[in-house]
Amino acid sequence: MYFIIEGSGKVSDGEETHAVMSGHSILTRSGESHSIENTGSMDLILIAVIPQAHTQ
């Protein structure tokens, strides 16, 4: 999950791409390729939350 603090960008999650900006949050799917790119003129500041994988 990404929380966008400042700036703007785009998040790719598998086959989908979404524009994001300050105040947005986006959940990416586990097991899918995903990335985030700064598309604005300011720094893209974000918090990335990455859960620990469950093992049994």
pLDDT (mean) for 35-50: 95
CB-based contacts of 37, cutoff 8 Å, min separation 6: 9, 10, 11, 12
Supply the mean pLDDT for the chain: 91
For residue 42, what is the DSSP state? S
Residue with tokens 């703007």: 8
Is residue 37 in a domain?
Answer: yes
Give the model confidence (pLDDT) of 19-42 as tens digits: 999 999 999 877 788 999 999 999
Whether 7 is covered by a domain: the verdict is yes
- Is 53 a member of any domain? no
Asked if residues 9 and 36 have their Cβ atoms less than 8 Å apart, the reply is yes
Our count of domains for the chain comes to: 1
Phi, psi of 23 (to 5 degrees): 95, -15
